[in-house]
Amino acid sequence: MAFPQSILDAGEVVVRSMRPHWRRLVFPVLLLPVVVGFGTYGILTLRRHGAAGRDGGWVALAIGLLILARWTLRPFLFWLSTRYCLTNRRVLMRSGVLSRSGRDIPLTRINDVSFQRTLVERFFGSGTLTIESAGERGQVAIKDVPQVEAVQRDIYRLVEAETQRLR
């Protein structure tokens, strides 16, 4: 899904549009069958014990649903609603499920772009991108950026092109 055109200025072109790396979803996806399996086993075991087991079955179901909501559904919704966009004029970040927040950094204000990758992030091809800009907020660190080195190179190339365009 690309950024809506209403967010972009006239003459602004999307160079990269991305979500956080899919590795953020590994734990939630692996947790889903485990919780469903244990929940099903717990409910069936409690039901064998008669009338007292019925209440326990509802408690087990409620606990399972809470675990799924907190550690499976919530991370998926946050992943789904977080977007990073690199255009020929700025870097845009949008996130939030119920309430939205965003930050735009004009390319002309970017002083430095660096990245950091742990061993696991190197394996998956992601990393943390740190953008230092001239302004009151200074730095912004974007975690789990896919192809972080290529994004860093694109930002440097676009900053140079934007500087040349404004001269």
Residue at which a domain ends, from 78, 112, 145: 78
Residue 159, in any domain of the structure: yes
In this structure, what token pair is assigned to residue 161?
A: 């092109």
Q: Residue 41: give the domain boundaries.
A: 26-78
- Which residue intervals of the chain are DSSP H helices? 26-47, 51-68, 74-81, 119-124, 148-166
Residue 19, in any domain of the structure: no
Same domain as 161, residue 93: yes
What confidence tens digit (pLDDT) does each residue in 86-141 have?
999 999 999 999 999 999 999 999 999 999 999 999 999 999 999 999 877 789 99
Q: How many domains does the chain have?
A: 2
Residue at which a domain ends, from 15, 44, 78: 78
CATH number for the domain that contains residue 129: 2.30.29.30
C-beta neighbour count of 129 within 10 angstroms? 22
What confidence tens digit (pLDDT) does each residue in 138-154 have?
899 999 999 999 999 99
pTM exceeds 0.95 for this model: no
C-beta neighbour count of 158 within 10 angstroms? 20
Half-sphere exposure of 92 (CA within 13 A, CB side): 21
How many whole angstroms separate alpha carbon 167 and alpha carbon 162?
Answer: 9
Residue at which a domain ends, from 78, 99, 120: 78
C-beta neighbour count of 79 within 10 angstroms? 17
